[in-house]
Structure formats: structure tokens, C-alpha cells
Structure 1
Amino acid sequence: MCTNSGLAWTSSPLSHSLCYLQTTTEREQIVLLSVLGVPHATLRQSLTALGANGTILDQYSSTDIHHSLGGAGHESALHDTHPKGPDHSGHVTGERGERQLDVEMENLNLKEIKGDAIKVGKLLVRSQRTKGSKQWEILRDSGSAGEWRATAATIVAEYNGYTFGLYDNTNGNIVETVTLAGTYRTSVQIDDESLFDKKYCFHLNTGHQGTLYFTVDSADDRNAWLSALKTVTQPEIFGPVALGTPLYFRAVRMFWIRVTEAKDLAPASYYCSVLLDDMVRAKTPIRLGTNGNNCPFWKEEFLFTDLATFYSGVAIGLYTTSKGRKDVLAGQAIVPIPTLRRGEAYEGWYPVLGTLGGSQFQPEASASGILRAQTPINHQGPADSGHQPTLVPVGSLRLKLRYDEIVVLPSAKYQPLLALLVDYRNNLIFDLATVTKNVEWLSETLLKIFLSKNLAAPWFDYLAVHEVSHTDDHNILFRGNSVLTKSLDAYMKIVGLSYVEETIGTLIRNICHYRVMCEVDPAKLPAGDDVAAQWKILLLYVRILWSSIEQSKPRCPSELRLIFSRLRKVIEDRFGHHADPNAVSTARYTCVSGFFFLRLICPAILSPKQYGLVKDNPEPKVHRTLTLLAKSVQCLANLSEFGAKEPHMFPMNEFVMENSAALMEFIDFIATESDDNGLHRPHMDSPPGSPRIQLLAERQNFQPPTAPYLVDLDKELAALAFFVTRHRAELQKLEPHAHHPPQVMTRLINECDQLNRITRACWASGLLESTQHPTIGPHMD
């Protein structure tokens, strides 16, 4: 219950919300709202909306609120860990990417760097203190306990290649120098957030110098470093293939896995590690058996791209963990990569093998002993009779996985195809969309191609004009799954995830953490529950949610503001002379809010795990709370009220009416292109990456992915060429009714046929570990 002297939290999941209903002072209202993690400006607005005096905030500092919550220990449980800047030794801490990299660069005498520096920046490197001293050393093992150390980093061009250097930010001394000659692009990899519980991590596998792990503040910073490092390292090349003129090619590998559940285990707490070539790349959360059995459930998905040739293969390590004791590797399930058909999904129970008698498990020995014979239990395959006799089954893991390996030709081979595609006025895109069941895959592939050539803005313009010109009723605009809607969905996720995190992340995490359960449908409420009290809780949260969104408009990515402004102009040009000016005025808002809210904000509220806001899916009753919040915000975004279909939501109409004007003001702002002051220039209107690195990339026969989006253009073109060849018969039938001149489709099909003939010759050369021609997979159909 709540008292005037402070808050005493009960064990009820709704205690911190119900506390609001019991408060008698405005101070306690402030304390409650502070639990939600919102700033003072938002608190003042929310309190005013609730009828409280917002000026009371000026009488209480954040320290007062902190003490009301019960001290430091309690505060840390209520909020995300706040970032700490570097201390005097240069160490930086913080969780979930909310740290500030503030490396003191003035101590570094960069003039002493020999050679031509093509990139200088800030990186946090994983490190540990040397025992008995204030010195520190770089950690080269992801499993060791460590911390993140702020450093300055450089990539320097020298007479014999490139070097990567790390400098101590406190004294400017060189910490590590890596000669990049002979290093492959595939040695530079993005790390899954689960590995260190941090976003924006990546590593450089230097070979004899071990693996260096880094983190930065944003996806843009990470991608800039990845692009630079992949530009100055070399692609993994295969060849020559005898095709008249000797031809070389590269292979792009991707591995996706879902670790679903385990069974037949001894009682314990378990988690899994995903190992690629004996290197831990991702981890599941710790789980106990469910419903009293020993079947932990995870359903965690991981994707690894741009992989090197496999040597040891893929293993899933199953670990037991207990408080105060070192984690123990119970056993491993081995994924037989050589037996997998490229591009096809496999799902089944994979045996987990451990050592007899619980002796120390040797992962390398077990992997080599069972790799060739192990297959899913419910799939056909030869029985394993040759594994080591000391290995015994300790359980099974249910896995779903997919391995892709795509042959990619030199960049010059794709230039004719690229020229056809970027000339979007030939309307080929719309015909390609008619022959696939998965417009999402096609749209995302095309988006990446246009992003890599800085043509996303005019491309979106053309898609919007095409879709609007074929629609007479503005009320049904952008409702279907078209190339425009799917492309813009993907684009908003690319450029808007950080914005979503900053805007609603803390609130959503706290709702999930405190298990806020709110139900306003009397038919679903338990007998005796007060629906009026539930409404007071829901209105409190929806006001705070909307306030957080409304105040975020200056932070709306300039890329989205540019697209929204052009989208609105297309609507005005098409329906500006409509007989009903009020309807056109409404369409000016709903055409933008339909994308921003329906396809970005509300999906993030409903599926916070998919958007990186939380680590686990909310439990059902908490998800119901999020559903009500999303439904309420979406109703506001539609500039409509709840009707007879949902009479229990009528009380929310007051909130909608109160905030409709603010909603239109918000849309007006985010649908106005930001001033081009050089500070917020959209990526799509500026060269991707630094000009120097971009120039180096363009000179290479096998062009690397470029910042800020890390698009592997040649890989996307290779996949699209295969798609066209696969659907050539359907595309040829479309010609009499096509949007394009007949000769354009013929050129497209002929070009893709030629590319795929060369690609098949590369597969048939036997230079890769598998000679079967891959399928790109059912997701392209």
C-alpha cells in the first residue's frame, strides 16, 4: 500500500498502478509516474491531464523522488541502468546500448601516426584489468568476464597494405596494431546482442592475434566501422572457373537458427550457446523446465550473415547454471552443415551428447566424432555407429535452421541488370511483384538495391504516385501489401528503431517488468473487479505513452520526415480538387499516421521483443495491456472514435477528442522535411559512408558493403537474378498485359539467364565444399 511517508510496494502485479488510486498527495502521483521512467516535462503534462498541479514538480528534485522509491537499490530495479561516463581510468559501463562514448581525444597525438589514415574514431574494446595493477589488457575470449574500455581507433594505409590500430585514450599509447594484409572480410562480424547483453557489438578475428570485440553507440557507428574494415580487407575468392576468360567468384553464406526447446533433461536451469567454428556467437536466456517437467522453452532466433567457410561446423552447447557456481557444459548438438540442402528449412529434434559419468566435456572432440552422422531424429538419415563411446545422450534440442550459400560474381557482371532495375520508370518492379507470393522479400531486396545507389527517395516517390494514381478512394490508400507498403515498412525499421527505443522503450520495459495488467472489457474482468479503477489505470498509461510520442517529434529521423513530406504531397496532388475538402484534409493526416503509427509505433508496442525493446515476449495478461494501449493510440492516429463494435472502449473517446489537435500538429511536423542545415542530412541524399572509403570500395572487383546500411549490392542482385530466372515463364506470360515495353522484359530475362548460367558453372566447378546448385528458398515464392 502507499503511505505519505513513502511507498511500500505490495506483491500484487498491479501494486504500483493501484497505488495511484490510493494516493492522496500529488507527491505520490509524481513518484508513481517516475516509476514509468518518463522525464519531468512529460510528468508535468501528464499530471495536468490528470487534473494535478504540474508545478509541484519544481518543488521536488529527482533525489527526492529517488528517496521516495526506497534508495539506490530500489531505483536501480525500477529503471534501466543509467549510463556512466568514462572514469579517470577510461572505463565505461552501461546497459542496452544506453552509454555515451566520450573518449578524450585531445590526449592523443594523432600526428605521430605513420601512413595515410583513412578512418579515425572511437571504439569500446572488451578488456580486463591486469591483476595487481592499474594496467589493462584486451580480452580475446567472449566467455571471460570483462568490461568495455574506451579507445581511439585508426585504419591506416601503408606501403604494404592497411593496419588497424587502437590507442589508450588516457595517454595516447598504442595498445594494439593489427596488420590487415591477408585478413578476409568475413573476419569482421556483427555480434548478436545476446552475446554481451549489448547492442551494436562486432568483432575482428585477426587469426594469430585472436579476436577483438568492440561496441559503439549506434547502428550507424557500427556500420561505418564494418564498412571501413570490410573495404580494406579482402574477399574470400574462389577460382578460376574455365569460361573462356578465367572467372573468379565469391560465396556469401548465411545461417539462421531457432532454438525452440529441450526435453529429456536432468533437473536444472539451462541455457544454450550457438557456436560457429567453435566460437560462441549467441546465447539464449536461462530457463527452467516448464509445468514441472524438465523441458525448458526458449524459441530464440539468431541470424548470422557473411560467414567464412566452415571448418568445425555449427554446434549448440547446452549449459547448466546455478547461483555461485561455474556454468557447466552438459552436452552439444551438432548441426551437420555438409548434409543440408542450401536454402531449405530443417526442423527436428537433435540429440544432445555429453560425456559418460559427467567428466569434463571436450567440445572439439565431440563435434569431430559425431558431425557426419548426426541428423534430426525425425528426419531420414543413416544411423550413427561411429561416435566416441564416451559420449552419451543427455537430452534433445528442438531446432529449426536454414543455411544459405550464394555464389556472387564480380561486380561488373551485374551492371546491366542494375541499370535495368534502377530505371524504375520502366515499371518492371510492378510486374515482378505479380509473380511472387512473397512481396515482402521482393520489396526488401529492391529497397536494399535502391538504398545502395542513393535512390530510395525518388523510388518511394514513384511507387507512391503509381499506387495513388490507381486508387479513386483515398480512404483505402496504402491498406494492402504492395511494393510501396512493404518497402516502407522495411525502411522505417532500418532508420527508425533507435527512435522507437528512445521514445517508448523505457515505458514498455517497465510495463513488462512490473507485469502491468489492465482489462477494461467487463466480459473479461473477474467478478468483483472495478472497471472504473481499470479505466483510470489505462488512461494514465495511454496519456504518458502519447505524451512521450508527442514530445519526440524533434527526434523523428530526418529520413522519415523526408518520405512523409513527399507522401503527403502525392496525396495533395492527386486529391486536391476532391469534392469534399474535409475528407482530403483528413487524408493528409491519415496517409502519414497510417505508416508511422500503424506500421511502426503500434507494432513495436504489440511486439516489443521483435523491435528490441525487451528480451522476452510479454506474458498474455501484460500483452493485453499493451494491446489496449496500441489500440487506443491507433484510434487517435486514425482521427476516429471507438464505435458500436467495441462499446467497452467508449471511455477512450474522450482521450481521442482531447488530443486530436495535438495529433494533427504532430503529423504536420513529422511530414515536413527538416531544414537542410548539414546536421540532419538524410542518408538517402548523401553518399553512403565517407567519400574516401566509398572510392576505395568502388575500385574493387568485388565491392564490399557500404555504410550506412551495409548493403551487399552484388549479393542482392545475384538473388534477384535467380528470382527472375525461376519465374521466367510467368513473366513471359505477363508481357501482353505488362506495364513495361516488351523489349525491356526480354532484356531482363536474357540478362538474368546469362548470370545464372555463369553461376551454375561456378557451382559445378567443385571449388566450394558442396557442388549442388542451391535453392534460394520458399520465402521467394
Structure 2
Amino acid sequence: MAKRSTLFIRIVEGKNLPIKDITGSSDPYCIVRIDNEAIIRTATIWKTLSPFWGEEYNVHVPPSFHTVSLHVMDEDSLSRDDVIGKVSIRKEALTAKPQGLDCWMNLTEIDPDEEVQGEIHLQISLLGDGKVPRRLRCRVLEARDLAKKDRNGASDPFVRVRYNGKSQESVVVKKSCYPRWNESFEFELDDPLADSLLTVEVWDWDLVSKNDFLGKVLFSINRLQLAQQEEGWFHLGPDEPKHSQDEGTLGSLRLQLRLRDETVLPSSHYKPLTELLSQSVGTHLNGNWPDLIMLIDETTTSENRQEVANNLVKLFLGQGLIKEFLDMLFKLELEKTTEPNTLFRSNSLASKSMESFLKVAGMQYLHRLLGPTINRIFEDKKYVELDPNKVELKEAGCAGLHRVQTEADVIQQSSALLQSYLSELMAALLQSALYCPLLLCQAFQQLYRQVQARFPEPEYRKVKFIAVTSFLCLRFISPAIMSPKLFHLREKHADARTSRTLLLLAKAVQTVGNLDTLVCCSKEPWMVPLQPAIQQGISQLKDFITRLVFCQESEDLDLQTRMSLRCGSMEKEGFLFLHKTKDKCIPMTSPFKKYYVTLSKDLLSYSRAQHSKKSSFISLPKIRAVEKVEEKCFGSANVMQIISSEDSGQQETLYLDCKSVNELNQWLSALRKACSHNANTMSCYHPGIYKAERWSCCHQKEKTDPGCDKTRHGVTLQEWYDPLDPDLEAQLIYRHLSSVQSPMRDKYYELIKSLADVLTSLFRILQDLRDAHAAVEAKERLKYRNVFLELQT
């Protein structure tokens, strides 16, 4: 049994942001924090006070988290980024609205006393003669993960213990976010029966300015009398919030947030549901009607259809039945379609499932296909415009030393450049038949053949091609061209000029996908100059589809080579800056060098060039921890460490410097999931580095010290390349089926009697799962009740 908390975040846009630059504008971006741990950084939107991001994330969060905060920053290239404001949402506010929040929220001023993080290890006890306590003792042991308040990337923490108007302070531990005090403080209890408070505060000592607040913990004396002693790690909380005069004047953010807590039962509980769904797909192979999937299709709504499609696609991928599932949905859709021109144009379960399947199974293929062309457009930064009503000659520049460009010159040059981009892309698409993933090929083959069988008439000869292109071009390639940041093709959004070029190219690809130049050119006649390239692209696209459907196996490649080209085994790859250390101390200068890093099924390898034959590697089973590194260690907040053990038992650490917090979390996610079943994983680690004969985080001098912070084996950010979690997908499908059980029962009476056995089995399985969840909840309540009784006694 496991608790899974997932937070959906969509950062839509901002408005009325304050001016931060001398240009009279700002360059805003957002940082998302879970309890002050940065997990997401959006792209920077340049020179605007009303930015639009439109970025979506599904974040795995610990069930015990307290706050989600979004900090809006202004990027500065010459100085430190300016803080504009923040939005904070408590977990209680998200839990109170299961349907999620979707609203504008005012930015507020950032109060340093609220920006706290970390935990403190305390032992608090009441001492005295007989049954009446006379003294209060607070032993302060250590703290971890404190907020960084000083320019050196650390703090100088000390503890202030307050009781009944009296206070005592610990020594100051210099330059550490993981201090160890091991000091005791005692107070006389004036009135043992009074319900007073013990306050433990952590401060950052400053020589010149006032001390910075790092957090506090409160304890009730009455509660202590019940337990006599409390010991453990306690989360530091913020001080009382202050009302700012700037509230409502810093602009606002449009956000969508939805928190989902799931109790995932052991796999055995979901086996009957998974088998029933698999049987429903299997009956289709024997010529029977897929009753259960048909009922799911009928009972999904526009609000939950995409989510249900995602869950079903991942479940059947895990069961090895994705081809059968998609084939069955194609059949259901074709049975309901009478007009071929509207085929797969609606947001049906079939369309949403195919769209989800392409993103799960085809994202690496998309990167290989579009990457070179997208990168070329970003590097060229040429002014491209075909619409005469939108041509701006001042943007186009001069044709030469003595002649200003005319509108005709701009359109002619733009047409030539767009034809070059389109030709390059379509040629790459034709060549991609060699490495298109096998699952994608099989899905397109099924779709093509089913449509051909449903509409065999000569006048519908193009429909089978359009069915494939409606997904491949209109729902996959074109959206990725228009928004490469959202498909992880680029780290940042395009500027206005590049964005217009991408939009025009995406329009051209959509026209190619429609297999008809006349319709587009009649609606937008300024697209006519692209007609030769579009016509050639249509021919190449048809050739590509024909190769996938009829020429699946190339004569010059054996099956094994083709499978390696198509499927591959890489989970993630890209250039990173690396430093490797064994027993050596870290030098003061930056030791990082650029390598091409590849994460495959069993290895993490790295070499100086992308296709270099010489490479070093780490066997994944030998990895003991994958963790972040403190910013002060290398002057970067995006460094991670991979701790592994060699055959000799010697420990080795590899440091990787990423470009952004998003890339950092993506690598953390991929590596932690790849090593999730490793034996001998570490329970604690050092977030700092060992130099000058001690650890920079906790100042321990023993290099073999086990560590001052606990390791986090969970995944921070869910990405498209994440491995499947079949139990979680089954739990999500169970929850959906439970919510539509009544509509399903009503539908049963309207349909044929053959559904009786299927629905009877389904309802019995759902009831068994409800009973299992109820038993888990009862067990949890009993555990908390026993803890409460122990405290009372």
C-alpha cells in the first residue's frame, strides 16, 4: 500500500505586473516551490507586463507537504533577478476543492519571515519530583535543510528558546544549513497547570544587519504533560504574516491547480479489474463486441475524457495490449461515423487515446524528427511573413546598402525560406520511416487498414491517408512546431519573430496533412507561394505512410537492427557538464567538463561527443543515491550528484550540472525511477561537498560520515518518459469507474442482455476494491487512535 499525491499545475498567464526594467517593462518568469523546494521554472517571457506561459505540469508531491508557492521573478542579464511577488496556496485550500482551483490570484509581497524551510531535531521533557513537573528541559540536537540567507549560499544559524517571557540562546554555527548544536536549556515551571507555550526559534546571525528569521516550532505545555517527553524532527513554520500595503498592486496570476491523493493498494487487489479490462479487449480479437470498453466510451464526458484516455493507454501499454485497445477504439469510432470527412476530428475517446499514445510512445521519435529543423529556425532568427497585411518593413531590414526592401521582396524571401524549412522537414519525415517506433507503425497500419475497409469506395480513396495524418500532422507534429517548449524541444519559448515563423510552418504542415492545397489557399490566398513545396510534401507524406503500411521491413536492414533503430533503449540523453571524483577533494575552480550523457536501460554512459565510441559508464544497479547539491558548492542551484559503489566497495560521486531546475528535475526523475529497485540504497547523504578536510554542509571532518540529510528516492517531476506505474493507473481507472457506476447501470437496461455478465463482474470487482479501501482507512484510524491513547496514558 502506498500514498500517492499528484499536483496538476497549469501556469496560464499574468497581468498588470509592475515595471522592473528601465525599458518600462519586465522579463517575467515563474518559480514553483513545494515547501520552498524549487521544482519548476517556466520560460522567460521578454518585455511584457502581461505574460502568457500556458505551461502544464504533473508534480509528484509528498503527502505531508504544506504549501505550494509560485514566485514571479524578473530576469536580469547583468544583475540578480528581481522579485516581483508570489502566490501561496495551502494544502488545505487544495484539499477543500477536489475539482481544483481555476482563478486569478493577486501577487503579494514576499515576507522574509514567511520564507522558511527545513526541520529541527528536538527532545523536550518535563522534569520534577513526584507527579508534579517542576522544570522544562529542551534539548536542541541539530537542524537540516535550513533556508539560505547569506550571500555565501548558507546561513549562520542559532536557536532561541522562549518560555514564560524568558529566553535562552545557543551558540552560532557558521556557514551551515545543517547545523549541530546538542545543547540543553531548562526553565522553571511557574504554574504546571497553566497552558503556556514553549517556542523554539531558529535565526540566522548577521554581524552588521539584523538577524534573519529561519523558522519556529510551538509546543503546548498541557500536551507535554500528557506525553512527558517529545522527541523527533519537527518542521519549522513561518512567523505571523504581515499585511502588506502593496497587496493588489503587484499584478495577478491566472492559475489552475488540482491536488489528487490516492491510496494505491497492493497489486493483487487490482488484478481482477486489469484482467476484466484485458478480456474486454481480447473478446474483440475473437469477433465479439467489446462491451466494457464501449460502456466506458459512452460514460466519459468532455471534462474527464482526456484523463481516462491517458490512464487506459498506460494500463494497456503495461499489459502489452495497446495495439488491440487502439484497434478496438478505431472500430467503435468507425461504426459511429457516416461522413468520412469528419472522421477522428471530434474529441472522442478514440481521438484522445491516440493522441495520448503518440505522446507516450512517440516523443523521442518526435524529437529526432523535428529537432534539427526547429533548432535551425531558432538559430536563423529570420523575419518571415507571407501575409501582406502583416508585413513590417522595419523588421525586415535593408536589401542592400542603397535599397530598402519592398513588400514583394519580403514575401519572396519569406516564401523561399519557408519552402526550405518545409522541404527539410518533409525529407526528414520520409527518412524517419526507418526509425519510427514499432508500436507507432503498427497503430498507423491498423488505422489505415480499418478505414480502407470501412470506406472502400473510389471517391474516398484519400480518407485512409487523412485518418493517419489527422493524428500524425494535426495532433502531433503541428502542435509541437507551434509550441516547441511545451513538447520539450526547446528550453525557452520562442520570441515574437521566431514564433511567427513557427506558426507559418505549422500551417504549411497542416495543409500537407489535409492533403489538399486548394482549401487552404482559398481561405488564405497569401499561402499560394508555398504551393509547390506543399504539393511535394503531400507526395512525400503519402510515400511515408505507404512505407509504414506496406514496406515495414527494409531489405537492407535485418529485423534486429531495425528494432534497435525504432525502439531504442534510451530513457534520456543530452549534453551536461560533469565532474567525477573518488577520494580527491573538490578544487576551488570549476572542475566541470561538457559530456554527452545517455541513460539507457542498464547503464548511464557519457562521452565527449554524441556519437563517440569511447565512453565511460556507471552500471545502474551500483547507484546508491541520486540527490541535489547545495548551491554554494559550485555556485549553481542545478547541480546533482550520483553516488555509486565500485566492485572494490569504494564509493564514487559523479556531479552533473544542468541548465535549469526543469532539466535537473527531469534527470532526477529518470534516474530515480531507473534505480527504484536497487539494493543497498543509502538512507542519508551529504548535500554539500568534501573540501578543506570537512563537509561543507555539516562541517563533519570524517569523509566517510554517512550523511546529514535523508535521501529522497521518490520522483519530483513526472515527465513523458517516465516508466509506467500499473497499480496507480489501475487505481485511477477504478476511481473513474466508481464515479460512473450509476450511469453504466442505467445504460445496461437500454442495451442488449449480453452485458449482464460483464456488468455483474465489474460491479463485484468495484465493491471488492471499495471494501479494501475501507479496510485500509479503518486501519489508519485505529492506528491514530492507539497513538492518541498512548499519549494520554
Tell me the TM-score normalised to structure 1 length.
0.54
Quick check: 1:267 aligned with 2:281? no
Quote the RMSD (CA, aligned, Å). 4.5
Change in CA separation of 1:766 and 1:332 when aligned onto 2, cut-off 3 Å: farther
Kindly tell me the number of residue pairs found equivalent between the two proteins.
Answer: 494
1:765 shift after superposition? 5.8
**Contact map agreement 1:349 1:397 (CA 8 A) in 2:** yes
2:221 is aligned to none
1:223 is aligned to none
Quick check: 1:403 aligned with 2:259? yes
1:645 is aligned to 523
1:538 is aligned to 418
Change in CA separation of 1:263 and 1:636 when aligned onto 2, cut-off 3 Å: closer
1:367 shift after superposition? 8.5
1:335 is aligned to 89
Distance across 1 between alignment mates of 2:538 and 2:430: 12
**Contact map agreement 1:315 1:333 (CA 8 A) in 2:** yes
1:722 shift after superposition? 1.9
Distance across 2 between alignment mates of 1:762 and 1:250: 11
Matches of residues 737-748 of structure 1 in structure 2 within 5 Å? 737-738=750-751, 741-748=755-762
2:100 is aligned to 345
> What amino acid does structure 2 have at the position aligned with 1:407?
T
Distance across 2 between alignment mates of 1:284 and 1:768: 43
Change in CA separation of 1:301 and 1:663 when aligned onto 2, cut-off 3 Å: closer
Change in CA separation of 1:331 and 1:469 when aligned onto 2, cut-off 3 Å: closer
Change in CA separation of 1:461 and 1:271 when aligned onto 2, cut-off 3 Å: closer
1:197 is aligned to none
Quick check: 1:752 aligned with 2:628? no
> Secondary structure, in 3 states, of the residue corresponding to 2:517?
coil
**Contact map agreement 1:561 1:674 (CA 8 A) in 2:** no
Distance across 1 between alignment mates of 2:351 and 2:503: 23
Distance across 2 between alignment mates of 1:331 and 1:707: 31
**Contact map agreement 1:489 1:599 (CA 8 A) in 2:** yes
**Contact map agreement 2:386 2:527 (CA 8 A) in 1:** yes
1:461 is aligned to 327
Distance across 2 between alignment mates of 1:397 and 1:352: 12
> What amino acid does structure 1 have at the position aligned with 2:560?
G
Quick check: 1:252 aligned with 2:16? no
Which protein is richer in strand relative to its size? 2
> Secondary structure, in 3 states, of the residue corresponding to 2:363?
helix
1:559 shift after superposition? 1.9
Distance across 2 between alignment mates of 1:558 and 1:529: 47
Matches of residues 426-465 of structure 1 in structure 2 within 5 Å? 426-438=290-302, 439-465=305-331
Question: Match for 1:279 among 25, 34, 37?
Answer: 37
> What amino acid does structure 2 have at the position aligned with 1:440?
Q
Quick check: 1:310 aligned with 2:64? yes
Change in CA separation of 1:713 and 1:470 when aligned onto 2, cut-off 3 Å: same
**Contact map agreement 1:642 1:650 (CA 8 A) in 2:** no
**Contact map agreement 2:5 2:261 (CA 8 A) in 1:** yes
**Contact map agreement 1:315 1:332 (CA 8 A) in 2:** yes
Distance across 2 between alignment mates of 1:720 and 1:418: 10
Question: Match for 1:416 among 272, 286, 296?
Answer: 272
Quick check: 1:673 aligned with 2:526? no
1:410 shift after superposition? 1.8
**Contact map agreement 1:604 1:611 (CA 8 A) in 2:** yes
Distance across 2 between alignment mates of 1:314 and 1:545: 41
Quick check: 1:521 aligned with 2:387? yes
1:387 is aligned to 240
Quick check: 1:354 aligned with 2:207? no
Matches of residues 20-31 of structure 1 in structure 2 within 5 Å? none
Matches of residues 466-615 of structure 1 in structure 2 within 5 Å? 466-512=332-378, 514-525=380-391, 529-530=407-408, 531-575=411-455, 578-580=456-458, 583-584=460-461, 586-615=462-491
1:270 shift after superposition? 5.9
1:405 shift after superposition? 0.8
2:189 is aligned to none
Change in CA separation of 1:509 and 1:734 when aligned onto 2, cut-off 3 Å: same
Change in CA separation of 1:651 and 1:339 when aligned onto 2, cut-off 3 Å: closer
Matches of residues 4-43 of structure 1 in structure 2 within 5 Å? none
**Contact map agreement 1:721 1:756 (CA 8 A) in 2:** no
**Contact map agreement 1:440 1:483 (CA 8 A) in 2:** yes
> What amino acid does structure 1 have at the position aligned with 2:770?
N
Change in CA separation of 1:503 and 1:385 when aligned onto 2, cut-off 3 Å: closer
Tell me the TM-score normalised to structure 2 length.
0.54
Quick check: 1:723 aligned with 2:733? no
User: Per-residue displacement from partner, 1:47-84 (whole Å, max 9, x unpaired)?
Assistant: xxxxxxxxxxxxxxxxxxxxxxxxxxxxxxxxxxxxxx
Change in CA separation of 1:329 and 1:461 when aligned onto 2, cut-off 3 Å: same
1:454 shift after superposition? 0.8
**Contact map agreement 2:215 2:239 (CA 8 A) in 1:** no
**Contact map agreement 2:294 2:332 (CA 8 A) in 1:** no
Give the stretch that moved more between structures: 597-606 or 541-550.
541-550
1:388 shift after superposition? 5.8
1:617 shift after superposition? 3.9
**Contact map agreement 1:571 1:588 (CA 8 A) in 2:** yes
Quick check: 1:655 aligned with 2:519? no
1:731 shift after superposition? 1.2
> Secondary structure, in 3 states, of the residue corresponding to 2:560?
coil
> What amino acid does structure 2 have at the position aligned with 1:673?
Q
Distance across 2 between alignment mates of 1:746 and 1:706: 37
Change in CA separation of 1:303 and 1:651 when aligned onto 2, cut-off 3 Å: closer
Change in CA separation of 1:469 and 1:619 when aligned onto 2, cut-off 3 Å: same
> Secondary structure, in 3 states, of the residue corresponding to 2:31?
strand
**Contact map agreement 1:258 1:400 (CA 8 A) in 2:** yes
> What amino acid does structure 1 have at the position aligned with 2:333?
E
Distance across 1 between alignment mates of 2:47 and 2:502: 27
> Secondary structure, in 3 states, of the residue corresponding to 1:650?
helix
1:762 shift after superposition? 3.9
> What amino acid does structure 1 have at the position aligned with 2:741?
R
> What amino acid does structure 1 have at the position aligned with 2:297?
A
**Contact map agreement 2:481 2:503 (CA 8 A) in 1:** yes
**Contact map agreement 2:63 2:261 (CA 8 A) in 1:** no
| Structure 1 gaps, min length 5 | 1-248, 372-383, 698-703, 772-781
1:488 shift after superposition? 1.2
Matches of residues 71-470 of structure 1 in structure 2 within 5 Å? 249-259=1-11, 260-261=13-14, 267=20, 271-286=29-44, 290=48, 295=49, 297=51, 299=53, 301=55, 303-311=57-65, 313-317=67-71, 322-323=76-77, 325=79, 333-341=87-95, 343-346=98-101, 347=103, 348-355=105-112, 360=149, 387=240, 398=253, 399-423=255-279, 424=281, 425=283, 426-438=290-302, 439-470=305-336
1:721 shift after superposition? 1.8
**Contact map agreement 2:66 2:90 (CA 8 A) in 1:** no
Q: Larger radius of gyration, structure 1 or 2?
A: 2
Distance across 1 between alignment mates of 2:385 and 2:517: 19
User: Per-residue displacement from partner, 1:308-347 (whole Å, max 9, x unpaired)?
Assistant: 3335643445566645655687876543113422633224
User: Per-residue displacement from partner, 1:178-218 (whole Å, max 9, x unpaired)?
Assistant: xxxxxxxxxxxxxxxxxxxxxxxxxxxxxxxxxxxxxxxxx
* Percent identity over paired residues: 23
> What amino acid does structure 2 have at the position aligned with 1:421?
L
1:393 shift after superposition? 6.6
Change in CA separation of 1:406 and 1:510 when aligned onto 2, cut-off 3 Å: same
Distance across 1 between alignment mates of 2:359 and 2:317: 14
Distance across 2 between alignment mates of 1:474 and 1:300: 33
**Contact map agreement 2:374 2:481 (CA 8 A) in 1:** yes
**Contact map agreement 1:451 1:684 (CA 8 A) in 2:** no
Change in CA separation of 1:763 and 1:315 when aligned onto 2, cut-off 3 Å: farther
